[in-house]
Structure 1
Amino acid sequence: MRNLVTLAAGCFLTASAWGEPTAEPVLSDGNILARVDDRIITFPQLNSTAVVGLSTPALGTPERRTVILTLLDKAISVNLLYLDAVGKGKLEDPNFKRELQEYADGMLAGLYRRHYLKADSAVSEVDIAEYVKKHFAKDTELDDKMRPLVEAKVKKAKYLVRKQGLRKHLHAGTKVMIHTKHLEIEDDGIRSDEQVIAEYDGNVMTWGESKKYLTTLNNSIDINRRLKTLNGLIDNYLLAKKGREAGLDRDPGFQSALAEFSVTRLVNQHRSALAQAMQPTEQEVRDYFTEHQGRITFNEHRKLQMVVLKDEKTALDIMEKLGKGELTIYQAALNHSIDPRAKQTLGDFGWVEEGSGFPALDELAFTLEIGELGGPVETPAGWHIIRVTDRRVSKYTDINDPDTRQQTRRLLLKERLNDYVVELRKREYPVVVYEENLNRLLQEEAQWITAKSREMEQHPERAKLILDEMKALVE
């Protein structure tokens, strides 16, 4: 049965296509998890996606299902924002088009550089013979041990020759003129953005389009570094041009990476523009803090070591021994605590939030100094002796504090963006989730991991190979 999932607008810090356009839903494809209008989201896409703040749980665990659902919600949100941006004509935004062009040129420049440097890397028998003649004694015979070393030396020499000749190759037949007088550092403050600073291959480069690269700290104190950077920008353009001439822009890997960048960058730009338009007033921030203070404020936390005893007499006896140094709190937890987890934790209780525990215990824990021993104090669980080992102070408690206002504003904006995405789903773009596919695929994944675990037990000599195979599934 098809169900709609709750959408969660989040901050995406990964480059992923998150969905592919298709004219009609391909329901025969069992990997499809959702459709957002004409875009589809598949199980392999989610498996290959990483999001900051989300770790990858072990295969076959309930936690993994939760993470996959979270990723699916985020993927749906990304696709909704992408469609909204496209519908609002953001693909034609000059800033977006420029960034897309810069990204494509950068990729093609790197691809062509590698393509060119490897083009003449084959080592022939003549190359080997010439190298031996030049670097070895006369009549030296090349054995099987020496041959690979010589081949590597020849290949490296060829690489260096190609590398040294790369710039000459790029500039062959291309006129490049740099107007050094328009690059003087002392004129940066008065130079017009329209000022032409370089001409190459029929193009002109203006100060406005290049100054973000030329006014870095290093380039603002040394004109030679500025010139080197400018030459690098021109070389990058020429490399990209050569890459297109060589057909490298038709490479599937390039096209896929460019498509992923296009979606991610467009969504991020659109989110930023939406957030700017949704900026709340100071009064709205204060009102939101008043209404949601419990969610915004971070109460003080204490990290505790704890021993729980069955009665007051035992607790007082243990407390006395701890005070005299006759017993450590770890020994007390291991040998005397009635907490069923004590043998595993040795009394390390972890972090507790102020106001979240038994009142008597809470009062004691948040009055002790770090390192101080306290108790015993009685709760329904027994008699407690505790030591505070660390502290996290409370924050976001006062709306007049700048950090609190910033945190409150951030949460309010996040809520507004989330509401905007939900409205897109309701009113603009249909969202369908194929829950039966998700359940089946997660079940198949769990069955696969069970079979692989059994295989490792039966063939321990293949354990590393199997583990690598399992690891590759979630990376």
Structure 2
Amino acid sequence: MWNRKASLAGMFWAVALIFSSFPTSAADQVVATVGDEAIYARELEGAIASSPFYTQFNTLGEDEQASLRGDMLHRLVSARLLAREARRLGLDKTSAFKRELENFRLGLLYRSYMDKLRESVSVPDEALAAMKQQYKGDADALEAAKAAYLSSQFRERKLAALRQMQIDSHLQFFESRIRPGIKSGTVLMQADGVRVTYGDIVDTGKWGKLPNPEWVSEQLQNRSELLLVARYAERAGAKVDEQLKRYGDEALPALALAKKTQEWIPNEQAKRNWYKDHPEIGRIPASYHVGQLVVASRAEAEALRARIVKGESLFTLAGGYSIDPAGRQQNGDMGWLPEGRGMPELQQVLDTLKDDELSGVIETRSGYHLLMVLERRIGRQKPFAEVRERVQQRMVNQQLPAYLGELEKRYPVSWNVMIPPAATQSAVAR
């Protein structure tokens, strides 16, 4: 099986060479293949550009950028492995997935129509002039007035467009049928080429009885509007195939992982058992607000301790004598120290000190310390209910590497070392 750590380390510098500084042709370079599917440099660039850390990306050093690119490429490969497995298992052929895709397609068409409708709204010159006169010198108020006007006009145009769609398509609602005993196939709305049944808006497997009729009516109105607008958007030539395919490709890995998760975590009791064996996941450690003074010799520490016992402030002395730069700058106030994070020798003493009690001299590799606990927060153990989702994620994370390794055997992965054109030309010249 492919050694992830070794492969990632080896490809970090490789993928660092395939970013936007390349000419257009570099975007078509293959950075990895999964089975017979290629992953291109442009896909990696797009993934990085859409990631949360992108705004800080250019501020990072070359090593950090290369590491993040390598990690992102690894994620793309993992997603491609899971997507291929989802297709092999036929998860893309299930009615639930097809329904999800159809709903997404309708949503895309709806948004396309509404975006165009919104773009058609503008503030007339006369109204804009009046606003400028009214809010002269107040740019924020002027912008708010313009936004309010556009929003109001958009709502009016939207309502007018919906009314016209309903008339043109001969829409009819049958809300009187929303009553106890209603069947999944009962038609609640019908128009030219469009209809909505009770089963389209209510999961009858989840709802054994009729939910609140007002809620059902609201769902009916929303679904009807979605279908009508999407139909008119299609007639107007809206194209969403590329976005729909991208959504499907992104959804398939989650389907494969969800199916596998059901095998790894068959029931709630499995999570509870794991939590029982790994209680540290729910542990909130105690923490201490610590004052500290560090000096280079025991004799100096003892002398300073005597001065503190006689009434001088540890914090004042720390500001003048501490050899710890941070501690000296902060006059010995070290802030909150979580249990188990500091040096073992210091932690052992912190556990025994009372609030505002001065410690004896403590020797560590950093020097000779005097400690004081100003206040403390008691640690606690979170109940299972509070960490349930974290437990599931941790259980999945434990199983995932081995599972991806199995998929790599089924769909072999190869990584391509990318060399920028300038480096290639330099090598040829030599």
Alignment TM-score, normalising by the size of structure 2:
0.70
Residue 235 (str. 1) matches residue 219 (str. 2): no
The answer to whether the Cα contact below 8 Å between 2:321 and 2:328 also exists between their aligned partners in 1 is: no
The answer to whether the Cα contact below 8 Å between 2:285 and 2:379 also exists between their aligned partners in 1 is: yes
Picking from 258, 272, 290, the partner of 2:258 is 272
User: Aligned AA for 1:199?
Assistant: Q
Residue-by-residue CA offset, 1:9-38 (whole Å, 9 max, x unaligned):
xxxxxxxxxxxxxxxxx9965764322231
User: Aligned AA for 1:74?
Assistant: R
Picking from 232, 239, 248, the partner of 1:262 is 248
Name the CA shift for 1:420/1:90 in 2 (closer, same or farther; >3 Å).
same
Distance 1:354 1:160 in 2: 56
Identify the range of structure 1 (408-417 vs 96-105) with the bigger mean alpha-carbon deviation.
408-417
The answer to whether the Cα contact below 8 Å between 1:7 and 1:73 also exists between their aligned partners in 2 is: no
Residue 310 (str. 1) matches residue 296 (str. 2): yes
Identify the range of structure 1 (94-103 vs 28-37) with the bigger mean alpha-carbon deviation.
28-37
Residue 76 (str. 1) matches residue 81 (str. 2): no
Residue-by-residue CA offset, 1:374-423 (whole Å, 9 max, x unaligned):
34322233221224455472648xxx967788766643332223311111
The answer to whether the Cα contact below 8 Å between 1:299 and 1:353 also exists between their aligned partners in 2 is: no
How far apart are residue 260 of structure 1 and its match?
Answer: 3.3
Name the CA shift for 1:102/1:377 in 2 (closer, same or farther; >3 Å).
same
User: Aligned AA for 1:432?
Assistant: S
How far apart are residue 163 of structure 1 and its match?
Answer: 3.2
The answer to whether the Cα contact below 8 Å between 2:272 and 2:384 also exists between their aligned partners in 1 is: no
How far apart are residue 238 of structure 1 and its match?
Answer: 0.9
Distance 2:122 2:392 in 1: 57
2:39 matched residue in structure 1: 40
Counting aligned pairs with the same residue, the percent is 21
The answer to whether the Cα contact below 8 Å between 2:314 and 2:332 also exists between their aligned partners in 1 is: no
The answer to whether the Cα contact below 8 Å between 1:5 and 1:433 also exists between their aligned partners in 2 is: no
The answer to whether the Cα contact below 8 Å between 2:201 and 2:216 also exists between their aligned partners in 1 is: no
How far apart are residue 310 of structure 1 and its match?
Answer: 2.6
Residue-by-residue CA offset, 1:68-118 (whole Å, 9 max, x unaligned):
222222221111101111222222111111111111211211210232344
2:103 matched residue in structure 1: 102
User: Aligned AA for 1:260?
Assistant: R
* Gaps in structure 2 of 5+ consecutive residues: 8-23, 131-141, 424-430
Residue-by-residue CA offset, 1:325-381 (whole Å, 9 max, x unaligned):
64352x433321122443455545466565565543221122335665534322233
The answer to whether the Cα contact below 8 Å between 2:109 and 2:230 also exists between their aligned partners in 1 is: yes
Partner SS for 1:58? coil
Picking from 158, 165, 168, the partner of 2:160 is 165
The answer to whether the Cα contact below 8 Å between 1:373 and 1:387 also exists between their aligned partners in 2 is: yes
Name the CA shift for 1:103/1:277 in 2 (closer, same or farther; >3 Å).
same
2:416 matched residue in structure 1: 434
Name the CA shift for 1:196/1:283 in 2 (closer, same or farther; >3 Å).
closer
How far apart are residue 264 of structure 1 and its match?
Answer: 2.4
Partner SS for 1:44? helix
Distance 2:284 2:122 in 1: 63
* Gaps in structure 1 of 5+ consecutive residues: 9-25, 136-147, 444-475
Residue-by-residue CA offset, 1:274-322 (whole Å, 9 max, x unaligned):
10122268998799779x8598585835354422123344334444555
User: Aligned AA for 1:99?
Assistant: E
Please report the RMSD computed on the Cα atoms of aligned residues, expressed in angstroms. Answer: 4.6
Partner SS for 1:172? helix
User: Aligned AA for 1:243?
Assistant: A
The answer to whether the Cα contact below 8 Å between 2:201 and 2:219 also exists between their aligned partners in 1 is: no
Name the CA shift for 1:423/1:312 in 2 (closer, same or farther; >3 Å).
same
Partner SS for 2:257? helix
Partner SS for 1:384? strand
Partner SS for 1:385? strand
For residues 108-257 of structure 1, the aligned pairs below 5 Å read 108-119=109-120, 159=154, 162-184=157-179, 187=180, 190-211=181-202, 223=214, 226-249=216-239, 254-257=240-243
Distance 1:408 1:31 in 2: 40
Distance 2:242 2:304 in 1: 66
User: Aligned AA for 2:405?
Assistant: V
The answer to whether the Cα contact below 8 Å between 2:110 and 2:233 also exists between their aligned partners in 1 is: yes
The answer to whether the Cα contact below 8 Å between 1:7 and 1:77 also exists between their aligned partners in 2 is: no
The answer to whether the Cα contact below 8 Å between 1:7 and 1:76 also exists between their aligned partners in 2 is: no
User: Aligned AA for 2:183?
Assistant: S
Partner SS for 1:374? coil
Distance 2:258 2:281 in 1: 23
Picking from 293, 304, 320, the partner of 1:335 is 320
Partner SS for 2:359? strand
Distance 1:159 1:354 in 2: 57
Distance 2:5 2:156 in 1: 59
Identify the range of structure 1 (300-309 vs 93-102) with the bigger mean alpha-carbon deviation.
300-309
Residue-by-residue CA offset, 1:450-471 (whole Å, 9 max, x unaligned):
xxxxxxxxxxxxxxxxxxxxxx
Distance 1:255 1:387 in 2: 66
How far apart are residue 241 of structure 1 and its match?
Answer: 0.9
Name the CA shift for 1:270/1:73 in 2 (closer, same or farther; >3 Å).
same
Aligned residues: 380
Partner SS for 2:168? coil
Distance 1:294 1:160 in 2: 53
Distance 2:103 2:391 in 1: 36
Name the CA shift for 1:412/1:120 in 2 (closer, same or farther; >3 Å).
closer
The answer to whether the Cα contact below 8 Å between 1:302 and 1:366 also exists between their aligned partners in 2 is: no
The answer to whether the Cα contact below 8 Å between 2:282 and 2:384 also exists between their aligned partners in 1 is: no
1:447 matched residue in structure 2: none
How far apart are residue 234 of structure 1 and its match?
Answer: 0.6
